[in-house]
Amino acid sequence: MFPRKPDQHKVGNPLIPDGLGIVYVLFTTVYLFFLYFTGIVSPSNNVSAPLTLAVCILFGGFMGLLDDWIDLKWRYKAFMPLIAALPLIYFAIENGLRTSIILPIIGVIQFNELYYFLIIPLIIMIVTNTINQLGGLNGLETICPAIILIGLMVLSPSFILMLGPILVWLILAFFNFKGKIFVGNTGSFAVGMTLASFAIITDLKSSLIVSIIPYVFNSALILLSIFIVQKRPRVIFNGKKLHSEHRRSLVTLVTYHRYLTEKQVVMIISLIIGIFTIFSVLYLYPLIVF
């Protein structure tokens, strides 16, 4: 049923079904349609939040499919998510969402009009692409976004929007961690789009920005090393453990001259992201509640 792809970090490189992210995309769409039809989440100011989310996630999934299929060029991948910003900008304007972002240390930044036309597209573009870039190990591309999403859901009063999808995603993450399936680019673009659009719709972009910092750091490392030394990161698998000879990404940084199993690496990175997420929740929870 699903195309198979070799697992590079297992002995004998067994073939594993890839692209199961589509399950997540389809389930989420059905779930959000259900929310809309049953009126559990009714349109606010004549814009429907579940349907807006559905459009964005579908688009993310579609982009991932294209990427899985024809290896989209980087310039397309970088700018295609901008299309998904349109429904979100419209949603934000019609509902008069806050145009400011609260950041630790820096404080409140007021963007006014710029928020709609610059910040929302930027958030979409950066989040989808950075989420897509951290992956390659079993469980890495599923567990980490799940942590961030749960963090967002804790803060949001409209967590119901993501209740079904997160369950499906956790099931996928479990099998992914076990090394039974891959979610593919379909999954990682879709979940990136989920994070970005959910955060914008529920007005939690501050929390998103804080928890996404490790991702941004990872992408910055990768892009810098591509620009400067023109080399991509590579982890070495010796049959049992992973290690690396350079520090060109978060994964290689963790495994630099250090022999770790795949699971250990995934746990460490998840922990880093978990710390950032918990911090964002603790920092923002009082601001939201009071």
Amino acid at 257: H
| Binding flag, residue 70, another protein (CB under 8 A) | yes
With CB under 8 A as the contact rule, the residue among 7, 24, 68, 189 that binds another protein is 68
| Binding flag, residue 87, another protein (CB under 8 A) | yes
Stretch that binds another protein, among 29-37, 136-144, 253-261, 265-273 (CB under 8 A): 29-37
| Binding flag, residue 72, another protein (CB under 8 A) | no
With CB under 8 A as the contact rule, the residue among 13, 33, 231, 275 that binds another protein is 33
| Binding flag, residue 71, another protein (CB under 8 A) | yes
Q: Residues 169 to 188: which contact another protein by CB under 8 A?
A: 186
User: Which two tokens mark 270?
Assistant: 């998840």
Residue 20 contacts residue 2 (beta carbons within 8 Å) = yes
With CB under 8 A as the contact rule, the residue among 7, 9, 31, 62 that binds another protein is 62
| Binding flag, residue 141, another protein (CB under 8 A) | no
With CB under 8 A as the contact rule, the residue among 91, 169, 198, 215 that binds another protein is 91
| Binding flag, residue 29, another protein (CB under 8 A) | yes
Helices (H), the chain: 21-38, 49-70, 74-79, 82-94, 113-114, 120-133, 140-155, 160-177, 184-201, 205-211, 213-228, 250-254, 262-289
Work out the widest C-alpha separation in the chain, in whole angstroms.
Answer: 57
Residue 217 contacts residue 227 (beta carbons within 8 Å) = no
Rounded Cα distance between 161 and 164, Å, is 8
**Nearest Cα to Cα of residue 129 among 58, 191, 85:** 191
Q: Which residues bind another protein (CB under 8 A)?
A: 1-3, 5, 18-19, 22, 25-26, 29, 33, 36, 43, 46-49, 51-52, 54-55, 58-59, 61-62, 65-66, 68-71, 83, 86-87, 89-91, 93-94, 186
